[in-house]
Structure 1
Amino acid sequence: MRRRSRRTAALGLALGVAVGTVGPALAGGALTPIAFGDTPNHSVSTRHFEATGEDGAPCDVVADVYVPAGVDSAHRAPAILTTNGFGGSKNDLKPMAEMFTRRGYVVLAYSGLGFGGSGCRISFDTPDPDGRAAAHLVDYLGGKANAYLDAAHTQRAPALDVVMRDAVAHDGRAHPNDPRVGMVGGSYGGQVQFAAAAMDSRIDTITPMATWNDLSYSLAPNNTGQTVGVSTRVPGAPKTNWDASLVFAGVASGFAHGDVDPTRLTGCPNYPTQICTAVTQAVTTGVVTPDVVARLRAGSVASYLDRIRIPTLLLQGQSDTLFNLNEAVATYRGLTSRGVDTHMIWMSGGHSALPETGDYVENAPDPATQYVTRRIVAWMDHHLRGTTASPGPRFSYFRNWIRVDGDTEPAYAYADSADVGSALTYRLSSTDRLATQGVRTRPGTARFVTPPWGLPTTHDHPDSLGLISVPERDVPGTAAMWDSAALAQPLDVVGSPRVAVRVSTTVPVNMPAERQLVLFLRIVDVDAVGNATTVGNLVAPARIADPSRPVTVTMPAIVHRFETGHRLRLVISGGSTNYRGGQDSLPVAIPAGDGQTVTVPVIGGA
């Protein structure tokens, strides 16, 4: 198989864009058997459904139904419902559909609202209309004759009478047209599973992959002052690389470089106008307004987590600067605290890098050779077929320092909860050192100045609006950094580091958000010869509304080994290559001391 570039593959995961040639699905009334490669074991046909958009206008949803050979009304099978990532279509789902049909599942793959031939505006996976639209497809899987042969909805299609039925749904009630059905999909096709489950108790299980908990955190995170999960009351720092690129592609590059010229916009894509206005405002001012935060949260499981009651397998990439591991953790904690059967896998890859081929391959899923694909299939077999196959460990994480050839299962470690590390605390010492327990801290104050707009290095990276974040880099005088001693043995960190510091600056307390101090924190691995790499290129922005009080910053979770001879570095900077910073240039002072700490969750001995 021809290997894709890392950049193209990450874009494919992020947007659901098919890479390679996808043949057209057959349309028509009858389920005509066709052959896909060497597996002529199923039939496929295109169906159309009525839906209603966010504005109340009707639209068409297009889907393909795959039925395995030998499955009929006398020999029924469970079903899989799946939809595309952002910018994709039902055609992207052909490899996954074929894989499940080979295992005897009926698959209904559809283009989400606003994508791939389906109508309505893009509404960011809200329960209504996105979840409600999915419920219409669940009706069809349950035997309701609500599908059409044409997009104009003039030719009614025959009912589908081949899917197993349930007598009682997950709300304890009997519902008409109740199929045995689970959902799969990633990114945008992951969040819609929550939206669908919130609207329809007939769905039996979901497996959201690489998706968000709170979209306002995803696009403009604030890693301090978090109230529930990753959500905050104080707005965060917009991600110039993701926010602008996803909406305006290269058009927004001028905004990120200070060339604020609204005439460069080519028009709002197929979104609610509020979203385009919001992204423009965020990139230019550095602040996401409360009404926009509310709009983003409406399409986020964080706002309706109590409505998710079915078994959930969360899969999140460890190389993901769009939806980092903290998002999955927030959802995991929220569901498990409510007694929902929830498992979580931190897998290789993500929106910022390819998964390992022995983990998961989007366009060629194979449970025989790919650990994550195997876990998804086992989960579905367990919850839809009722097999005795184990659904897998409660929590699994990929260790990229374990070298494997092929299947990645030996590189995974397991636990009963996501809290696996023991706290190792470093204290800020002098102006550039991290002291461990038992080592006396030395006095000192690190000082730097935040650049206006928080753009110290963006001009050095003309491609910084690319969909994969560019490496973080600091300009002298705009950041402070503290190093540990060289490690005498490997240090394995699994989870979210936490930084507790008091900073001082000249900005008064409770200034308007756009005038407040914004800092960017990173965990960096420095090798024996001094090469420094931000772990996962992950950044924790912190908008500090009250500099008179200490702040605690919850860093993005990582799974990383610091090798023997390496040093762990904490960087606190006034700007970022991938985020919009504060408007003003401000002096910052950070003193050393026992109360100024960075704590990392460590596996094994430190």
Structure 2
Amino acid sequence: MDPAAFSLYPELDAPALTAFVAALESGDTGLLAPARAAQVAEARSVAVFSRTKVAGAEGDLIDAALWRHTRPDPRPVIVMPSPWTDFGWLPYAVQGSVFAARGYNVLAYSARGFGDSEGEVDVAGPLDVADGSRALDHLIERTAGPVTRIGFLGDSYGSGIAQLVAAHDARVDAVVALSTWGDLGEAFLENRTRHVAAVEALFRAAGRARLSPQTQSVFENVLANRDIEAALRWAASRSPFTHVKELSRRQVPVYFSHAWHETLFPANQTLKMFNELAGPKRLDLSVGDHSGPEMSGMTGLPNRIWTTAHRWFDHHLGGVDNGIADEGQVLAEVMWSRTLEPRPNWQSVTEHVRRLYLVDGGELADTPEAGWSTRVLCGVDTPATVADAVVRSGYDEMAGRPKAYRTGDIDRTVAAVWVADPEPETARLRGVPRLRVTYRAANPKSTFVAYLLDVAPDGTGRIITHAPYTDLASPPDSLVKADIELQATAYDVPRGHRVMLVVDGRDPFYGDANLPRATLGFTSPEATPSCLDLPLG
């Protein structure tokens, strides 16, 4: 595939956004849809739009767009670092205009190495942080009146940069981070398992970008499974979680949005960041995958994520008493009803836990059973997979077409399967499921992937959540005890459906440590029985 043809934002309508920018510059809205024409007219009635260049770190010129009010009234400002795309700041064209019409001065810029910005891709490193502060300087210098408060907003790549600039630049008063990461190391390596599909996707989507030699080396090393500790050290400095104490010390308000089935930056690592923050915070979790829930807002359509972003800044930058501070910290969109459930905090999402034990015969039971063993042959993929494609599968979910898993086709020689009794009433899974399982690995390194499925009476399954696990330290032919968190979920298992746990040794989304034709023998010791904890709300 041509690298330039691959995008992490497949629904992004670049020609329409380019036409929108042309209308912002010329005032000619004849080629725009009426709603987009109205947005252009409203923005132009209060602010002047222009392209500009920011003097970034190391003398590199950063390509940017500026929405500037000419009246000398005091007003807040917003800086928007771009997503991971060669389109640069273009995805923010509509929303920058919306913010300008709401009274903000706005600067959106293309992160270094992308689009028309000079320099090399630093992956939210020190140069990107410096660029963010210099973009803010550039905006303040061109503001006609006093700057009251300052916000940073980013989607995807830009969201990580936004958080890191806020951690390093005390001028930043509030952050909006959409489809973001908290711990980049966990996004690369979850439970010591390499996210090869995610790294490959980032690589391919940067086909026209100018990656720094260090960035290129880190990506290649993760894919080749070499020098992983160095990659994790590199990722740590680029992780907002590393700097969370500074954000908490200054009580910086941060709004996160995320997708339950995120394939680039899985939800739990962002949850870790969210739970550690001590200031005002909010987390919206939605059906879909990376940047999908907020994408329609980038094209100008009504979108609840962007509406919340507007309200977040209106309150924390503009001082508007719009009620958002009283709405609770968490809003979860339930699969597949799309019901929105507010909660005061993450801890209140789970009300109690149901423990099911893995027992002989492939059942999930209420009481433990020791002494059984189930062998899994490694190296063979099964119908149980994370998704059909990075990012793109999430758009099918948002359209109401989640992947159907043919559970009857799962070969029990290459996967271990346990199934619970039919649910007597709807089971409301809310929170982070946990799996504790013991297995014997003949080789010193081993990997498995666990999938939690909702199975209908006809045997068709839908994925609820999953997690990988890799052991790199146990001696050959020893018992390995794995205790892992599956990715967070808000899922209603309907009455009459069954919860199914599938464990296999191969998934194309991950790099596995298993030798070809190796086997994993799952069991349940009496002292530490293998079990699945389901969070219920």
Give the TM interval when normalised to the shorter protein.
0.7 to 0.9
Counterpart in 2 of 1:434? 364
Q: 2:307 aligns with which of 352, 365, 374?
A: 374
CA distance in 2 between counterparts of 1:468 and 1:496 reads: 24
CA distance in 2 between counterparts of 1:375 and 1:22 reads: 25
1:423: how far off?
1.0
Q: 1:276 aligns with which of 216, 228, 249?
A: 216
Counterpart in 2 of 1:226? none
Check 1:19–1:25 CA distance in 2 against 1; reply closer, same or farther (3 A cut): closer
CA distance in 2 between counterparts of 1:220 and 1:558 reads: 20
Q: Are residue 141 (structure 1) and residue 172 (structure 2) matched?
A: no
Q: Are residue 319 (structure 1) and residue 252 (structure 2) matched?
A: no
Q: 1:485 aligns with which of 395, 410, 421?
A: 421
State the AA in 1 paired with 2:420.
S
1:517: how far off?
0.9
Listed as ranges, the matches of 1:125-524 within 5 Å are 125-126=124-125, 128-143=126-141, 159-162=142-145, 164-166=146-148, 180-222=149-191, 236-248=192-204, 270-285=210-225, 289-308=228-247, 309=250, 310-335=252-277, 339-351=278-290, 354-355=292-293, 361-366=297-302, 370-391=303-324, 392-402=327-337, 411-421=340-350, 422-436=352-366, 439=367, 441=369, 443-451=371-379, 456=381, 468=392, 475-508=411-444, 516-524=445-453
5+ residue gaps in structure 2? 30-35, 395-402
> Which structure shows the higher strand fraction?
2
CA distance in 2 between counterparts of 1:481 and 1:524 reads: 10
CA displacement, residues 271-296 of structure 1 (integer Å, 9 cap, x when unaligned)? 122333343343344x5611112112
Counterpart in 1 of 2:67? 66
CA distance in 2 between counterparts of 1:311 and 1:569 reads: 39
1:246: how far off?
2.0
CA distance in 2 between counterparts of 1:194 and 1:271 reads: 21
CA distance in 2 between counterparts of 1:11 and 1:19 reads: 17
1:26: how far off?
7.4
State the AA in 2 paired with 1:23.
A
- Does the residue aligned with 1:595 lie in a helix, a strand or coil? coil
Q: Are residue 588 (structure 1) and residue 510 (structure 2) matched?
A: no
CA distance in 1 between counterparts of 2:246 and 2:54 reads: 25
- Does the residue aligned with 2:79 lie in a helix, a strand or coil? strand
Check 1:412–1:363 CA distance in 2 against 1; reply closer, same or farther (3 A cut): farther
Would the aligned equivalents of 1:66 and 1:101 in 2 still touch at CA under 8 Å?
A: yes
CA distance in 2 between counterparts of 1:300 and 1:120 reads: 21
CA distance in 2 between counterparts of 1:11 and 1:588 reads: 35
- The alignment's TM-score, normalised by the length of structure 2, stands at 0.84
CA distance in 2 between counterparts of 1:161 and 1:418 reads: 45
Would the aligned equivalents of 2:382 and 2:415 in 1 still touch at CA under 8 Å?
A: no
Q: 1:551 aligns with which of 469, 478, 482?
A: 482
- The alignment's TM-score, normalised by the length of structure 1, stands at 0.75
CA distance in 2 between counterparts of 1:356 and 1:199 reads: 27
1:11: how far off?
2.9
The alignment's C-alpha RMSD in Å is 3.2
- Does the residue aligned with 1:364 lie in a helix, a strand or coil? coil
Check 1:33–1:76 CA distance in 2 against 1; reply closer, same or farther (3 A cut): farther
- Does the residue aligned with 2:9 lie in a helix, a strand or coil? helix
State the AA in 1 paired with 2:519.
P
- Does the residue aligned with 1:196 lie in a helix, a strand or coil? helix
CA distance in 1 between counterparts of 2:287 and 2:532 reads: 26
CA distance in 1 between counterparts of 2:304 and 2:235 reads: 33
Check 1:413–1:464 CA distance in 2 against 1; reply closer, same or farther (3 A cut): closer
Counterpart in 2 of 1:76? 74
Counterpart in 2 of 1:567? 498
Counterpart in 1 of 2:32? none
Check 1:220–1:90 CA distance in 2 against 1; reply closer, same or farther (3 A cut): same
State the AA in 2 paired with 1:325.
A
CA distance in 2 between counterparts of 1:334 and 1:563 reads: 34
1:558: how far off?
1.2
State the AA in 2 paired with 1:478.
V
- Does the residue aligned with 1:137 lie in a helix, a strand or coil? helix
Number of aligned positions between the proteins: 496
CA displacement, residues 411-462 of structure 1 (integer Å, 9 cap, x when unaligned)? 33323334421111111111411012xx4647521111222xxx5359x99x
Check 1:457–1:490 CA distance in 2 against 1; reply closer, same or farther (3 A cut): closer
- Does the residue aligned with 1:20 lie in a helix, a strand or coil? helix
CA distance in 1 between counterparts of 2:10 and 2:60 reads: 26
Check 1:99–1:269 CA distance in 2 against 1; reply closer, same or farther (3 A cut): closer
1:33: how far off?
7.2
State the AA in 2 paired with 1:76.
P
Check 1:26–1:465 CA distance in 2 against 1; reply closer, same or farther (3 A cut): closer
